[in-house]
Amino acid sequence: MVAFNEIPYDWLKPGVLVEVRPNYDRMGAVPYPARALLIVQSLAGGAGVAKTLYRITRPDQGRALFGAGSVGADMVEAFKKANKTSDVYAIALADAAAAVAATGTFTFAGTATSSGVAALYIGSVRIAIPIIVGTTAAQAATAAVAAINAIATLPVTAAAAAGVVTLTAKHKGEVGNGIGLAFARRDGDSVIAGLAVTVAAMAAGATNPNLQDVLDVIAAEWFTDIALPWDDATTLGLLAAELATRYQAMGKRDAQAYLGHRGTFGGLTTKGALTNSPFISAIGAKNSPAAPWVWAATLAGVATFQLANDPARQLRTLPLPDIEAPPTADRFTDTEQNLLLGGGISTFTSLADGTVTIDRIVTTYKTSPLGVPDRAWLDIMVPKTASRVRYDWSSYVALMYPRHKLADDDSPAAAERDAVVTPGRMHGSWATRCKLYERWGWIEGASDTVAQSTFARDDSDRNRLNASQQIIIIGNLMVLAAALEFQV
């Protein structure tokens, strides 16, 4: 018997009554609502209100909302360069009240005996200081300060004293330590005879904003991908706990977070050990011109777009737009990269022209809850694919069986009524969806895993159907190991 939602069962007046409704038996993939979030730090000059969500559609919105030279401006611009189409929001926190700003210096010494251009670098920005014969250290420093302070989008302000240019981060907190400083870094940059320049890296920035202030605001919001600029232990602890809760069956707000780290091999190893989360992916570099928060936002932009298109496909070889490779001497060896991957730090490849491409994006998950080494959640495709399958299956069941009754497989009602579902019928629906997931390249071995899956009514609650649903997430070609044998 057909079950109607709109036609009364006892209607007597003659006529043709037709109820129109969709049939979901052969539906394709449920549209996946990829939605990214940039958690940023803002300056007082921005028009945005702290702890308020803003929908981002243009790359210059960050500057207006969060201030010129802010972390927020950089992250919005970086994400939009990497991803022009995905739905993205931003929410900001101001500097912590007790925070300390990082400082660094360019120290000029001597007097120029030749003319040229002194090339200073703050992050990826090149500041060219014209030098003529006879220019003193104090004069060069004064010129450098004027040039630096004229660029409103830089993350620092400058002041000169006795040939020393002191740079102070516009933001207070640890983010300032991630601002790269360099002199004559690129091929073709000249070194001025008689005038030496010494660089002291940005340091001493301390105390980040409290991430919990943002987590409270977005507690009920759906975001699939989140980038943030802070990587201290306290922040990462809060982040890992939040993402674990979101991924639980009762959470239903799956999200992957992206971080950028700046440091030596040892420093990145320490950072990777701070969390053990399947839902955090961090990428690190030593002395990169790009700030860590720019790495995070760029990676988030690429991953949001690509993994929404295909959650099971690796991101290898994809470029990170406008991310400049670290100097050759500061790039990690293959052995170091292999160890970083095992320690929860994703890796990249530097091409000859300075372009940076993704090598392998892993999560920070390394050991089971009992401390046993475990690679179950190694690659980002694992949580992303599992999340996508779960979202699609949950949506399909909600559409297919919205008001159905539940009966045993041998129930007469199941044979006579179309508004009755049984464990066997649900098992059949799972088999149908798994065939689609396999065709789409999300899973493999569907015939075996469907056979291993079980559906049964709960012994204590006749309104509940319990299931064990097995899948094998498809692999990716990461390593080709071969023995090349020559015959003699």
Q: Closest Cα partner for 71 from 177, 202, 203, 199?
A: 177
49 inside domain: yes
β-bridge mates for residue 219, sequence order: none
Pull the structure tokens for residue 484: 């090349």
* Average pLDDT of the residues of the chain: 95
Range of lowest pLDDT (10-14, 105-109, 125-129) = 10-14
Among the candidates 184, 203, 222, a domain finishes at 203
Say whether both 292 and 379 belong to one domain.
yes
Range 195-204 average pLDDT: 98
7 inside domain: no
d(CA 445, CA 434): 9
Contact 294, 323 (CB under 8 A): yes
Say whether both 228 and 292 belong to one domain.
yes
Report pLDDT digits (tens) over 341-373: 999 999 999 998 889 999 999 999 999 999 999
Say whether both 193 and 236 belong to one domain.
no
Residue 343's pLDDT is what? 98
CA 21 to chain centre: 39
Please enumerate in sequence order all residues whose Cβ is within 8 A of that of 262, keeping only pairs 6 or more positions apart, or say none.
177, 178, 180, 284, 285, 286, 287, 288, 291, 292
d(CA 108, CA 162): 9
Contact 377, 365 (CB under 8 A): yes
pLDDT at 29 over 90: no
324 inside domain: yes
d(CA 206, CA 177): 9
Among the candidates 171, 186, 203, a domain finishes at 203
Residue 349's pLDDT is what? 97
The parent domain of residue 336 ranges over 35-96+208-383
d(CA 92, CA 334): 37
User: 6: pLDDT confidence band, cut at 50, 70 and 90?
Assistant: confident
pTM: 0.95
Please give the tally of structural domains in the chain: 3
Q: Which secondary structure element, helix H or strand E, spans residue 296, and what is its range?
A: helix 292-309
CATH number at residue 124: 2.60.40
d(CA 308, CA 35): 10
Q: Closest Cα partner for 422 from 397, 436, 404?
A: 404
Report pLDDT digits (tens) over 302-334: 999 999 999 999 999 999 999 999 999 999 999
Range 31-38 average pLDDT: 96
Q: Closest Cα partner for 284 from 266, 310, 308?
A: 266
Report pLDDT digits (tens) over 243-271: 999 999 999 899 999 999 999 999 999 99
Say whether both 307 and 349 belong to one domain.
yes
Report pLDDT digits (tens) over 178-195: 999 999 998 889 889 999
pLDDT at 28 over 70: yes
| Distinct helix (H) and strand (E) counts, the chain | 12, 22
d(CA 114, CA 153): 31
Among the candidates 203, 221, 237, a domain finishes at 203
Say whether both 172 and 226 belong to one domain.
no
Say whether both 85 and 217 belong to one domain.
yes
Please enumerate in sequence order all residues whose Cβ is within 8 A of that of 222, keeping only pairs 6 or more positions apart, or say none.
33, 35, 253
Say whether both 274 and 310 belong to one domain.
yes
Say whether both 141 and 287 belong to one domain.
no
10 inside domain: no
Residue 96's pLDDT is what? 97
403 inside domain: no
Residue 417's pLDDT is what? 73
pLDDT at 416 over 80: no
Say whether both 309 and 276 belong to one domain.
yes
11 inside domain: no
Report pLDDT digits (tens) over 445-462: 999 999 999 999 999 999
pLDDT more than 90, % of the chain:
89
User: 486: pLDDT confidence band, cut at 50, 70 and 90?
Assistant: very high
What letter represents residue 355's amino acid?
Answer: T
pLDDT more than 70, % of the chain:
100
Say whether both 247 and 369 belong to one domain.
yes
Task: Report CA dihedral (425, 430, 432, 434) to the nearest 10 degrees.
Answer: -170
pLDDT at 1 over 70: no
393 inside domain: no
Say whether both 81 and 225 belong to one domain.
yes
Say whether both 147 and 193 belong to one domain.
yes
405 inside domain: no
